[in-house]
Amino acid sequence: MYHHSGNMARQTAGSGTGLLEPVAPATDAILFQRCTWCGTAMYHRLLCPVCQCGDLRTERSEGVGTVRHSTVVHRNTPVARNVSLIELTEGFVVRGRVMGPPAAIHSGDRVRMSTVKDPVRGEPVFQLLDEPYRAWH
DSSP 55-116: -EEEEE---EEEEEEEEEE-TTSSS-EEEEEEEETTS-EEEEEESS-GGG--TT-EEEEEEE
Terminus-to-terminus CA distance in the chain, angstroms? 54
Single pTM value for the model:
0.69
pLDDT tens string 64-115:
999 999 998 887 777 788 889 999 999 999 999 998 888 889 999 999 998 7
pLDDT tens string 38-52:
999 999 899 999 999
Q: What is the pLDDT of residue 36?
A: 95
pLDDT category at 30 given cuts 50, 70, 90 is confident
Q: What is the pLDDT of residue 132?
A: 56
Q: What is the pLDDT of residue 103?
A: 80
- Between the CA of residue 108 and those of 49, 87, 89, 133, what are the distances in Å? 25, 10, 13, 12
